[in-house]
Structure 1
Amino acid sequence: MRLAFAVSMVLILSLGTPVNAGDSGPRDVHPSLRSDLIAFYDFDHPMPDDPALERDLGRSSTEIELINGGTASRVVDPAYPGARRALQTRQVGAELSNDDWKAGIYSPTGVRTLRAFNAVGGTTVLGWFKRSMDGPALNTVTPAPDDRYNAIGLAGLLTGDSEGHAVRALLELINVEGTLRLVALGRRIDGGASQTFAASADWQTLLPKDQWVHLAATFDFNAGTMALYRNGVPVEGFYTVAGDPWGVSGPGPHVTSATDPRGIKIGGSFPQNTVERNPCDCRMDALMFLDRSLSAREIASQYRFMKSRG
């Protein structure tokens, strides 16, 4: 009886262990960061009952949809040693439609599993990106045939009141005073002003065409600061909004609005697939969303950790 009980307890403990514990995804995450990893997508883990959904290897279990592309969005193109498949996002047609390949999740009442980003003091968004476009795509929601969007969406968290576009923390390429730049864009308060930290270097130098690059953006909502990193190294840049758009000059601590994000957007806006905006003809892999602002040393450690995988 004691042996049977012991065996039963082992089975119970084994079944109770999170699926992430022995999975390939978390093994790609530096051990010091795993407890803060809320969502992680390596695009090697389709959900068994619906392969157009991607399993979250972080601790939130927030599945995302591979919108419009479905299983065809997963392509064999390793971004780093040990990687297998990546996500392909792209604009499909240059006419009014809702067929762009992108990924994400959306709920008008907030995504409960993303509650770690509710009233949070910091956030980090990072991952591998390979761009294949030469600039923003043709705008499919305006009548002018040669009009183009002013941005290329990479990956970000939506605010708690987002219509599918407004963000709490975002990595993207956007027009800054007439020049396309790699940026981190953040908003502390729902419906409030955003701040943008823009890279000084040319965006095509930071993201060479058809080459994998590791990017990270950190958001310290308490201090009111952001930072960008490329291949583990800080990127020089500047803030585009003067003053105190996040409202952090008074007594703290300062956190985001006490609302659950309405979702995640990847490769373009509106993950509920009602409108097209800022599509990215890109490939992406190992997208991570953490509930604190990582230090420069931690970003570098994560990049080196992934490069050493095999």
Structure 2
Amino acid sequence: MRRSRRVAATAAALTLALTAASPAAADRPAPSDVHPALRPHLVAYYDFDHPVPGDPALERDQGRSGTEIELVNGGAAMRVPDRAYPGSGRALRTRQIAPDATGNDDWKAGTWSASGVRTLRPFANAGGTTVMGWFNREMDGPALNTTTADPADRYNAIGLAGVLTGDSDGHGVRALLELIDVGGELRLVALGRRVDGGASQTFAAREDWRTLLPRGRWVHLAATFDFTTGAMALYRDGRPVDGFLTTAGDPWQLDGPGPHLTSATDPRGIKIGGSFPQDTVERNPCDCRMDGLMFLDTVVPARDVATQYRRMAR
């Protein structure tokens, strides 16, 4: 049986054990490359220099939750020697393996449980979320779609990193950094969903995605989601990115009395470099390298995004 399916089948037991261990995780020293202002809110953090002893296809969480993730299909080979920032060691390599064949062999990372991942509970009933990390693009556009019969069909997006909803099939997200088609043009976006089963909102960058994320160059990206007000933001190398909301009206259902928080459900997991971390379907693979991925249970203010970028890039 594939490890990813074994992990999915035993996720309830694993997450229960991790939850029991989370106070110890919270008490351990925070990584020195995380700014003190961010540490209390750092639910999960992956630098891909900490394989789980005895199982290098799993990566240890350096945040407070202790949420291990799986390096799906590629295992330890997905850790590659590359320096996203001074002090980093290895980076995560994600990619499409067989663009001309149907299958489930893409390299991606994450965790998934049908009952919800209990260690990710800080993202339930949350007023805000931030996703940030280092990304290095190695592709010129969305990959060929291996789930359709048309050999020329391509996906409409490139998945970076995000937190799933509490009812996700492995694709639907609560907070996501992504490149996706907006009105016929690929754009860097922050995509969020406040209510499980509800509509999403997208904040899309105006600048060309190839300028924001040049091929072969490490870039620090961050996306913030304020579920209490509907405000969203993108940052590149510590600076705000000009953008616009793509959906008119009130997709997050903020009209009426508050407080307006995310659904009171544990996220079903984290996805990195593509959808369906349980490895049942291929979608939106990213031929990329990634490092220093952070998932926080607050809206990190602009000054702290900039401070965190400078701290890692110095």
TM-score (normalised: structure 1) = 0.92
Matched, 1:108 2:79: no
CA deviation profile, 1:239-285 (whole Å, cap 9, x unmatched): 00001100112222210000000000000000000000000000000
CA displacement, residues 163-210 of structure 1 (integer Å, 9 cap, x when unaligned):
000000000000000000000000000000000000000000000000
Letter in 2 for 1:112: R
**Separation in structure 1 between the aligned mates of residue 29 and residue 164 of structure 2, nearest angstrom:** 30
Is the 1:184–1:227 contact (alpha carbons within 8 Å) kept by the matching residues of 2?
yes
Following TM superposition, the consecutive aligned residue runs of length 4 or more in structure 1 with deviations greater than 2 angstroms are 16-23
User: Counterpart in 1 of 2:66?
Assistant: 61
TM-score by length of 2: 0.91
2:223 paired residue number:
217
Taking the TM superposition and a 5 Å limit, the aligned residue runs for 1:246-285 are: 246-285=252-291
Change (3 A) 1:18 1:162: closer
In 2, Cα distance between the equivalents of 1:183 and 1:225? 13
Letter of the 2:157 partner, please give it: A
Q: Distance in 2 between matches of 1:20 and 1:213?
A: 31
The structural deviation recorded for 1:20 is 7.3
- Residues 91-129 of structure 1: CA deviation (Å, up to 9, x unaligned): 000110000000000000000000000110000000000
| Match for residue 38 of structure 2 among 33, 51, 55 | 33
1:302 counterpart residue number: 308
Cα distance change, pair 187–19 in 1 and its aligned pair in 2 (3 A): closer
Counterpart position of 1:47: 52
The answer to whether the Cα contact below 8 Å between 2:188 and 2:204 also exists between their aligned partners in 1 is yes
Amino acid at match of 2:83: P
User: SS state of the match for residue 110, structure 2?
Assistant: strand
Paired residues, number? 291
Structure 2 CA distance, aligned partners of 1:20 and 1:200?
41
Pick the structure with greater CA Rg. 1
Gaps of 5+ in 1: 1-15
Equivalent in the alignment of 2:98: 93
**3-state SS of paired residue (1:304):** helix
SS at match of 1:163: coil
Q: Given the alignment of the two structures, is residue 120 of structure 1 paired with residue 126 of structure 2, yes or no?
A: yes
Cα distance in 2 for partners of 1:207, 1:247 equals 32
In 2 relative to 1, CA 188–147 (structure 1 residues): closer, same or farther, beyond 3 Å? Answer: same
| CA–CA distance in structure 2, aligned partners of residues 17 and 197 of structure 1 | 37
Picking from 24, 28, 50, the partner of 1:21 is 28
**Could you tell me how far 1:307 is from its partner in structure 2?**
1.2
Identity of counterpart residues, as a percentage? Answer: 71
- SS of match in other structure, 1:27: coil
Cα distance in 2, alignment partners of residues 305 and 253 from structure 1: 34
- The CA deviation at 1:28 is 1.0
Q: 1:19 to 1:254 in 2, by over 3 A?
A: closer
Q: Distance in 2 between matches of 1:220 and 1:22?
A: 28
SS in 2 for 1:113: helix
The match for 1:233 among 239, 258, 280 is 239
Q: In structure 2, how many angstroms separate the alpha carbons of the residues matched to 1:170 and 1:257?
A: 16
**Cα RMSD after superposing both structures:** 1.1
Whether the 8 Å CA contact 1:81–1:307 is kept in 2: the answer is yes
Q: What is the alpha-carbon distance in structure 2 between the residues aligned to residue 260 and residue 277 of structure 1?
A: 23
Unaligned runs of 5+ in 2: 1-22
Q: Distance in 2 between matches of 1:105 and 1:21?
A: 23
